[in-house]
Chain A
């Protein structure tokens, strides 16, 4: 999601809420004899509003589970999640009087900071990463299909090598009847290609994340293939080009996987922390109000 001028409305409203809250906090804090506390009327008001913003933000997950229900566009829910979730932080700080507390309240404050920080981090990733993926991964495929595409690339490479080697064997067979003396048997001319495939390319295609593979880096791969071209006859250069294309596609898939992990991996931290925050927040509310 790009945070652009279409968020202006939300920004203005959020700033207005923050401004009003800040004003109220200032007006309430100054005359308060013991300082601002969560248990005062104003403190409770800040806490309630802040907590309800958190609950709304947390409901985004539930909203996504029923995508076709017409409870408001998913985009509206997402923007509400972002801005109201962000707003919950100053409101809770006003509620606590900027005290860290101890025990449960300290834990809650830590969780709140972690959730907001991870959320901001995630929002930044979602702002920038789609552009990076679009720019850098020209051969993008659907993420869930990556394993299948990788298998297809390996199969294609195997077939290319088989055809290249079989082609050379056929040529060798045809040349057997020739009387002329040949210094290098025709059938061995594909050997460098075959060796390169078995030692370098197949391991790379089977385990693309493997460190140390020259084919994992575009410049090194280019150099390796250029060197290979000097070792095999011209008719095999087309096969080398095709193999080079396969390696490039594999590198793109690897890059796409990595970028995808960045784009979505932060949720593995953000979501559990959010759930913990809401749950413990509810416990805190009950305990604080009842006892």
Chain B
């Protein structure tokens, strides 16, 4: 056991509150006020798990964190690491006549999507991240998991199961909050993060991917871990850029200010990064980065980094290329927004989409044949809502509204939902199906699709069992068919799939400009 002296009290029944004096015997609690612990006597309880017991399941909502005192636990993603894809056209006349699009799960190797993340690790709410290829890891004594769930009430990001008999402390937010302010606890958390997760986070940054272990080890000792309260600015648009940040915990809002308002570019979560340009030194921040909730970041200062960049010229050239692309995209975006109002600019973001589904409201009889066809095409789950942005008499029922503030991204426990450069949403393979993005989207553009998948049967080792998994999905415009099902099924010639530039420039006579390869 982590703390031998606690063996005598650790036999208390599962769910029993831990007495204050017992907690104070743990080194991580030594800085905590005894009065606080006494006042919050029921906020920490003993938890005992037998080998094979499930401690928590991915996607479930919770409000507690767990600290392991004894034993080992496995942390894994039970969900298939794949995204929803409609199956292609069947062959043969009869099969084609009766063709229904069925949806299936396709992994990165089978179906590569534009601007899909190529990260190798999946961020979860634990001191370790999971490998994309084999999303299983082990937690041991002295490790804490469930911080994000406890502090911000987000869904559980992974399934934790006892590999051996385990003893843990389960605590509420008030206790964790105080612990996080304790030097002893912070030191232990920081040490665990540096040892177990920082490596994979750094290697998920494309420019660091080819670096040697020496460099990573050098950075490991030099980085600074910082905390920010909800709403606090980490860096502001226009400030001198002097640091690079990795997100360890929480959500960081990245927004740009324009005449007409603010545009939220992204919500970054664990494992994401920002401020690469700052590593080169000089220049100004092009966006404001602020903590949406309780955030912890890893900061790498430009001074610390510059010395190593001299040793690895490849890193510098990679950074310079990214900086050039980013600055060009920002200049283009600013030029566009200066020439058109922000709302029109956002609408023009639609032009970067591959194609649009448009309904001519002067022909549409509101019969909902399109919605019915969409549902019939996708195993009963419609991806089309007959609502959307309107341009004259046309309704653009796009898969994504490319909102100014993408609420869908807030709270994803595994950071599986993010923006493409066209501002359209993409859902990564490691979506655990918790449904939070679907609930958060005000327009119903994200739907949960159920699949039957094979999973390990832990009650019968070596066997598998069928389980129902959910994945979030948006409209893919039925790219497998010449026409989307909704267009095919419209009796009134009201639904059309159009090429965005032809539609906006040709049909509506609107000025078209490139939003520039922020996309590239």
Contacts and interface: CB of A to CB of B under 8 A. Distances in A.
A263 B100 contact: no
Interface centre among A2, A73, A130, A144 (most CB of B within 10 A): A130
Interface stretch (B144-152, B232-240, B364-372): B364-372
A2 B100 CA distance: 29
Nearest to A144: B368
Interface stretch (B20-28, B76-84, B488-496): B488-496
Contact of A68 (B363, B376, B491, B494): B376
Given A73-B488, A74-B488, A130-B361, A67 B376 contact: yes
Contacts of B373: 67-68
B96 A64 contact: no
A63 to B, nearest CB: 9
B492 A75 contact: yes
B366 A68 contact: no
Given A68-B99, A70-B99, A130 B364 contact: yes
A142 B377 CA distance: 21
Contacts of A68: 99-101, 373, 376-377, 485, 488-489
A78 B96 contact: no
A235 B361 CA distance: 40
A98 B339 CA distance: 69
B363 A130 contact: yes
B212 interface: no
B358 to A, nearest CB: 14
Interface residues of B, number: 32
Contact of A143 (B366, B489, B493, B494): B366
Given A74-B369, A263-B366, A69 B492 contact: no
A88 B101 CA distance: 36
B387 interface: yes
Interface string A55-75: 000001000101111110111
A67 B494 CA distance: 15
Interface in A1-57: 1-2, 6
B491 A78 contact: yes
B97 A126 contact: no
A1 B366 contact: no
B174 interface: no
Contacts of A271: none
Given A69-B98, A74-B488, A64 B369 contact: yes
Interface string B80-105: 00000000000000001111110000
Contacts of A69: 97-100
Contacts of B376: 66-68
B387 A142 contact: yes
Contacts of A129: 365
Nearest to B394: A134
A185 B387 CA distance: 48
A68 B96 CA distance: 11
Contacts of B361: 130, 133-134
Nearest to A125: B365
Contacts of A6: 493
Interface string A97-134: 00000000000000000000000000000100111011
Given A142-B386, A142-B387, A2 B485 contact: no
B393 interface: yes
Contact of B492 (A1, A67, A144): A1
B369 A260 contact: no
A126 B369 contact: no
A144 B488 CA distance: 23
B90 to A, nearest CB: 10
Contacts of A77: 491
B365 A74 contact: no
Interface centre among B366, B376, B393, B490 (most CB of A within 10 A): B366
Given A67-B485, A68-B376, A142-B387, A2 B363 contact: yes
A243 to B, nearest CB: 24
B362 interface: yes
A126 B492 contact: yes
Contacts of A75: 490-493
A143 B363 CA distance: 16
Nearest to A127: B363
Contacts of B365: 1, 126, 129-130, 263-264
A39 B25 CA distance: 106
Nearest to A260: B366
A30 B366 CA distance: 49
Interface string B180-208: 00000000000000000000000000000
Contacts of A131: 362, 393
A130 B362 contact: yes
A70 B96 contact: yes
A175 B96 CA distance: 78
Contact of A134 (B98, B385, B387, B393): B393
A198 B363 CA distance: 41
Contacts of A1: 363, 365, 491-494
A133 B363 CA distance: 11
Contacts of B490: 74-75
Given A1-B365, A130-B362, A130-B363, A67 B493 contact: no
B21 to A, nearest CB: 47
A25 B492 CA distance: 34
Interface in A240-266: 260, 263-264
Interface in A211-231: none
A77 B491 CA distance: 7
Interface in B492-508: 492-494
Interface in B474-520: 483, 485, 488-494
B363 A67 contact: no
8 contacts: A2-B493, A67-B489, A68-B101, A74-B489, A75-B493, A77-B491, A78-B491, A264-B367
Given A68-B377, A70-B99, A75-B491, 7 more contacts: A67-B369, A68-B488, A69-B99, A130-B365, A134-B362, A144-B368, A263-B365
Q: List the 5 closest pairs (A to B, CB-CB), nearest first.
A: A67-B489, A67-B373, A78-B491, A1-B492, A74-B491
Interface of A: 1-2, 6, 60, 64, 66-71, 73-75, 77-78, 126, 129-131, 133-134, 141-144, 260, 263-264
